[in-house]
Chains A and B, each alone.
Chain A
Amino acid sequence: MNKNNIINKNISRRKLMKGVAAAGSIAAMPGFVRYSQAASSAPIKIGFQVHRTGIGAAYGRWYDRTTQAAVKVINDGGGINGRPIEIVAEDDGTDPKRGAEALEKFANQHKCDVAFGTLFSHVVIGSAPRAGELKLPYFVVSEGHHVASGMLNRYTLQPGITDVKSQVQAMAPFVRNNLGKKVTMVYPDFAFGHDHRDYFSAAFEAQGGQILAKVPIPPTESSFSKYFPKIPRDTEVLYHVMVGPAVLTFVKELGEFYGNKSPKLFGFIDSVEAVDLSTPGLEFLDGSYFWEGNPRYAQSNQTEHDKFYRSAVGVDENGASVSDSKDVSTYAHMFGCWETLHIIKNGMEEAGYSGVGDRSKLIEAVESMSNMPLSQAHPQGAKIFNGKTHQTFGHQYITKMTNGKLVLAHTTSIEDTFYPDEVDYTQQSF
């Protein structure tokens, strides 16, 4: 019986040759060639925590499109170490609790290599501790200062998008020198808005400016007029930043309230992100300034990299979907997904990443990154990554609304956005 088994398991030389030929022909098929040198050709699984529903849905839709486009570009170019990326998307409902649950699914059910993609700061703050417990590298695309502030942990990194503290610090001199001295701030009443409140007011007062009033608005609010009388009449500059599904209502009501008698307006593009600027009622925004992470409209000095990125994601020169001009993108933020995925690729290749056992090697590889030059992988611009604080720093753009389009008025240097380190995550053990 034993002998029979051995005989059955023996493979004849002829059969072996057939097998080799078959494997060779599969490897020769288009699409398989590139992965053939890899030790393992199993896909790298990236858990994508996406705001498909809830107040972040517009961002989620475009974060998804950008992610799919980046994955296609990376996979067409040979994947990561010859292995293709597979995105495992999970809706977090823009809810911190569901966000943490999504991370658990990524780690335990889908056996993802890393997690990625979260935008809304309360979801990041709710999820990051779980990422630390699961020892799952968590690459967020959120802008919140909570990564660099030291609030989170070694497993949470933000290499693909700059944080609010550095953004507002770079805006303060421009607002002070070009728009006015007395500012009133309107901002959403949660972590992201609090970053604006705390860091802009500090930076602006350091410039000799004065904050007259701070008007917080709950992010789930659906009507805004009632907040506007709180804006003092001697306000010279109204600094506005709003998020959530009702941003269009926010700007429309702002226009209704002020007409053409408004203070000078300086807004974060978040207030009109994914909003068609030709909507009736928004004419009053003409002449006002916006911070943009990445200019929505293709500018006259557009780089070849922006051109490539724009067409890969399917965005036209006005920042809307090529298939529907009313479907406006979240262009100022979504580049972060593209750049983060390229950073994950570089980090994994640097670390010789082969599986979940190499997660800490991946984090160390990303921590050792510094200069990220303008390139196809970084179409928004050059960046400098700080491995100690897990936060990237980069150029910021100020555009002026001119005849219904946002035209570049000022680009800050990367150095404008620096501030002293507040944490050294590399000192934390894995």
Chain B
Amino acid sequence: MDLGPYLLFASLEGLVHAAVLSLIALGLSLVFGVMRIVNVAHGEFFMLGAILAWWISGFVFGSPAIGFLLALIIAPLIAGVIAMSSDWLILKHLKYDPEATIIATIGILYIIQQAVLMTFGPDARPVEQPFNYRLDLYWFGFSAYKFFVVFSAIILLFSVWLVMAKTKFGLILRATQLDSETAQAFGIPISTVYSLVFGVGAAIAAVAAVLIVPIQQAHYLMGGEPLLLAFIVVIIGGLGSLRGTVAAAVLIGMSDGIISVFFSPNLAKIIATLFVVIVLLIKPNGLFGSEKT
């Protein structure tokens, strides 16, 4: 392939990757920003979204688009409710102690993974694309659905920003993030906010999964890689910073796409991880992180 189309293809692949990654990382970043806990089980909520999408779309006959839309609404809801109940059952009782919650979320990771394995089985499950259209770009073809993924991710990111910046709920979240004790003193029900945030974080990851599953198939082990990449993105972007998360996701997604296509996918991961080390050394709070911890 000539350099021009090669680069175009790599950028398109990178863009899809960046879009999904920014959603996954956004959920992780939100949870850390507000609750100050590291959710190691985040990748499993992503996986849960994908598996549920397969499960839900299996009930619907007729156009695959109906099943997909249904999954897009229901799967994140279920994932969110499961996340909220694990917060209510486990994390709350640990008083959100940073070390204890890491261990607890590792436990949640295994519980979700094994529960999915036991109920839905070990097979990779395909979900049909809501629409099947191949754009012929002369040198190569590209699925129109992938553009839809990018487009949806942008809308979703914009809505999250809108909620955070313009609504009362966003104000409550920002207040809790800034100083939870003072927020509580002003009558904000911190534990409800925490539960909601944990649920919303998981739901956003699940949305990303529903979007990606018609391209990639659902599988009980699929949560590992996005978790690693989401951590990389969040660390580079600055934990808790929405702007930073999106910027870092685009950076990592695009470089992953381009380096994968031109060199090798392994090299892309090596470089991304190396980049984390460099950022931690030079700007420990991330590119967009605030100075105060």
Contacts and interface: CB of A to CB of B under 8 A. Distances in A.
Given A223-B215, A229-B6, A258-B141, 15 more contacts: A218-B266, A221-B265, A222-B217, A222-B225, A223-B216, A226-B260, A226-B265, A233-B1, A245-B124, A245-B217, A248-B124, A248-B126, A256-B134, A256-B142, A279-B126
Nearest to B1: A229
Interface stretch (A3-11, A52-60, A164-172, A291-299): A52-60
15 contacts: A53-B117, A58-B123, A218-B265, A222-B222, A222-B225, A229-B9, A229-B140, A245-B217, A246-B216, A248-B124, A249-B215, A249-B216, A256-B142, A258-B140, A258-B141
Contacts of A233: 1
Contact of B123 (A57, A218, A258, A280): A57
Contacts of A53: 117, 122
Contacts of A226: 10, 13, 257, 260-261, 265
Interface string B251-271: 000000100110001100000
Contacts of A281: 129, 132
B136 interface: yes
Interface of A: 52-54, 57-58, 60-61, 218, 221-223, 225-229, 233, 245-246, 248-249, 256-259, 279-281
A356 B123 CA distance: 36
B167 interface: no
Interface in B121-180: 121-124, 126, 128-129, 132, 134, 136, 140-143
B42 interface: no
A280 B128 contact: yes
How many chain B residues sit at the interface, stated as a range, is: 20 to 34
A221 B216 CA distance: 10
A229 B143 contact: no
Contacts of A227: 265
A57 B265 contact: no
Nearest to A247: B124
A228 B143 CA distance: 14
Q: Is the interface of B mostly helix, strand, loop or mixed?
A: mixed
A281 B117 CA distance: 27
A93 to B, nearest CB: 9
B209 to A, nearest CB: 12
A86 to B, nearest CB: 25
A222 B132 CA distance: 20
A222 B17 CA distance: 12
A52 B221 CA distance: 14
Most buried by B among A222, A226, A259: A226
Contact of B141 (A57, A218, A256): A256
A119 to B, nearest CB: 14
B143 A256 contact: yes
3 residue pairs, one from A and one from B, having the closest CB atoms:
A245-B124, A57-B122, A226-B260
Contacts of B121: 57
Contacts of B222: 222
B219 A245 contact: yes
From A60, A61, A229, A280, name the one whose CB has the most chain B CB atoms within 10 angstroms: A229
A52 B129 CA distance: 28
Contacts of B129: 280-281
Contact of A257 (B6, B117, B140, B266): B140
B217 A248 contact: yes
A11 B237 CA distance: 87
A229 B263 CA distance: 11
A323 to B, nearest CB: 15
A246 B123 CA distance: 10
Contacts of A245: 123-124, 217, 219
Nearest to B5: A229
Interface hub of A60, A61, A228, A245 (most chain B Cβ within 10 A)? A245
B134 A259 contact: yes
A231 B257 CA distance: 17
Contacts of B136: 259
A52 B122 contact: yes
Contacts of A257: 140-141
Nearest to B125: A245
A157 to B, nearest CB: 28
Nearest to A258: B141
A54 B219 CA distance: 10
A279 B6 CA distance: 29
